[in-house]
Amino acid sequence: MVLETTYIIRSGWLTVTDALLVAPWDDATAGELPPYRRVPRDRRAAHVLLRTARCSHGSVELAFECDPVFDYGARRGTWSRDGDRTARVRHPDGGVELSLTGDLRLGIDGDRVRARTVLREGDEVFVALSWSGSRPPTDLAEAREGMATTATFWRDWLARGCFPDHPWRAHLQRSALVLKGLIYAPTGAMVAAATSSLPETLGGERNWDYRYTWIRDAAFTLWGLYTLGFDAEADDFLRFVAEVSGGEADRLHIMYGIDGERELPERTLDHLSGYAGSRPVRVGNGAYAQAQHDVWGILLDAIQLHTAGADHLPDWLWPIVERQVEQACTHWRDPDHGIWEVRGKPQHFTASKVLCWVAADRGARLAHTPGCRPSPATRDSRSSGPAHSPRGTQRTSPGWTWALTPARTSTRRCTSSRTPAALRRCRSMPWKGPPW
């Protein structure tokens, strides 16, 4: 990923460019990389965070500071110097080592490294933070080459997509880049966000760790990427789902770690004050053990969409389909925690009931895909599975509703008389902010 920021101050203009570099495969560093369980692309993560700073007008005084902390800010390492332009810091218990290099003279100031210089028009400098035994740029020419290689990689990826020619094209491209950046290439997993404990409301307690793969969220995201022409990402994610669910006799978990971890115990970091004083700060997510019945329908809807063009269902994918249909037909009458992941007693949610029906419907459709050998129960799941929801399952909150989910998942045509009624109902609901 590449981010360019321009600062305009009284004395001059400064453009700062940050990038997480990609690089060609290198046998010398292959042993330092995580094992790939998906087909590798032509480039890999270089494990280098590169920053360049260029003065394009006037002069700018530049101050640089690097202050890494380990174990979520609980511990600090000790810096050591390796010449005038390289410094290293290691985790107090060994293991992880960070290397900082650049064309600035680096000074160790206690538990951080600092540098200061004045850039005049046309001047450019760089610093690079690397880890996992990677090879950072050693001079400005290599830094520019790494930046150009990374930018080309992302432009080439965008060029493979199918973006409509309309005023929002650039926004779609920016969004697609962000979503692609959330995919962990070695396994194909996609995290919901790269952050933990950013509050839903400032000062509130709904501060969750989103650095995991939610089956629901990833399926929605990959539906968007697939619509834009990026089907390889969907292949990789479905392979990931097949791996993590292959040995499970019970229901599919709602979320996993990026390496397929099934247990994600939640704890609070009491030594951290949180964003804008919003405590607690959490790592892990206790919702991993919840039952959320909508997951089955959302996943099978994504599979059906992804395989519709090919008119073929891979052999390794069918067991996933069959298991989710069985779970939906068995548990659709049961309460669950719903898409809202309520931390409390399971309840009956209309969205969950509807999406259990979607699971049965998509399973029946996929059962007729060439090459499948479904059980009679799966082939007839539309008639033997969920038919309707009991009364009292429609729970609404001001401004938040899944009333139109049936239209999205084709359980009801958009031209149905009930769809405009649902829209009118949504518009008439007063907006008072989120219910929390």
Burial annotation 376-404 (CB, 10 A radius, 16+ → b, else e): eebbebbeebbeebeeebebeeeeebbbe
Same domain for 423 and 354: yes
Summarize the confidence of residues 81-107 as an average pLDDT: 91
Q: Which of 10-14, 29-33, 300-304 has the lowest mean pLDDT?
A: 29-33
Examine residue 223 and state whether it is found in any structural domain, yes or no.
yes
Summarize the confidence of residues 64-82 as an average pLDDT: 93
Domain count, the chain: 2
pLDDT at 394: 46
**pLDDT tens sequence across 221-256:** 988 999 999 999 999 999 999 999 876 556 799 999
Of the three residues 106, 134, 158, the one that is the final residue of a domain is: 158
**pLDDT tens sequence across 171-198:** 999 999 999 999 999 999 999 999 999 9
Of the three residues 158, 182, 209, the one that is the final residue of a domain is: 158
Same domain for 263 and 134: no
Examine residue 400 and state whether it is found in any structural domain, yes or no.
yes
Examine residue 280 and state whether it is found in any structural domain, yes or no.
yes
Same domain for 178 and 33: no
Say if residues 188 and 237 touch (Cβ distance below 8 Å): yes
Examine residue 433 and state whether it is found in any structural domain, yes or no.
no
pLDDT of residue 278 exceeding 80, the answer is yes
- Residue 300: pLDDT band by 50, 70, 90 thresholds? very high
Same domain for 309 and 366: yes
pLDDT at 397: 44
pLDDT at 32: 57
Greater confidence (41 vs 375) lies with 41
Range ranked top by mean pLDDT from 274-283, 309-318, 378-387:
274-283
pLDDT of residue 310 exceeding 90, the answer is no
Greater confidence (249 vs 318) lies with 318
Contacts of 341 (CB under 8 A, 6+ apart): 287, 290, 292
Summarize the confidence of residues 37-48 as an average pLDDT: 84
310-317, long-range: CB < 8 A, 24+ apart: 311/369, 311/370, 312/369, 312/370, 312/371, 313/366, 313/369, 313/370, 313/371, 313/372, 315/371, 316/239, 316/242, 317/238, 317/242
Same domain for 204 and 175: yes
Examine residue 436 and state whether it is found in any structural domain, yes or no.
no
Burial annotation 297-336 (CB, 10 A radius, 16+ → b, else e): bbbbbbbbbbbeeeeebeeebbebbbbbbbbbbebbeeeb
Summarize the confidence of residues 76-85 as an average pLDDT: 90
Examine residue 435 and state whether it is found in any structural domain, yes or no.
no
Same domain for 172 and 153: no
Say if residues 347 and 335 touch (Cβ distance below 8 Å): yes
Same domain for 308 and 417: yes
Q: Which of 313-327, 337-351, 405-419 has the lowest mean pLDDT?
A: 405-419
Q: Can you tell me the distance from the alpha carbon of 327 to that of 325, in angstroms, rounded to the nearest whole number?
A: 5
Same domain for 119 and 7: yes
In whole angstroms, how far apart are CA 46 and each of 68, 97, 129?
Answer: 19, 15, 11
Same domain for 199 and 217: yes
- Residue 413: pLDDT band by 50, 70, 90 thresholds? low
Q: Which of 58-62, 125-129, 204-208 has the lowest mean pLDDT?
A: 204-208
Summarize the confidence of residues 77-106 as an average pLDDT: 91
pLDDT at 183: 96
Same domain for 188 and 138: no
Amino acid at site 231: D
Examine residue 88 and state whether it is found in any structural domain, yes or no.
yes
Q: Which domain holds residue 148?
A: 2-158
Same domain for 172 and 149: no
Examine residue 369 and state whether it is found in any structural domain, yes or no.
yes
Summarize the confidence of residues 58-75 as an average pLDDT: 95
Q: In the chain, what percentage of residues exceed pLDDT 90?
A: 67
pLDDT at 133: 82
Of the three residues 158, 184, 210, the one that is the final residue of a domain is: 158
Same domain for 152 and 179: no
Angle at 194 between CA 193 and CA 198, to 5 degrees: 75
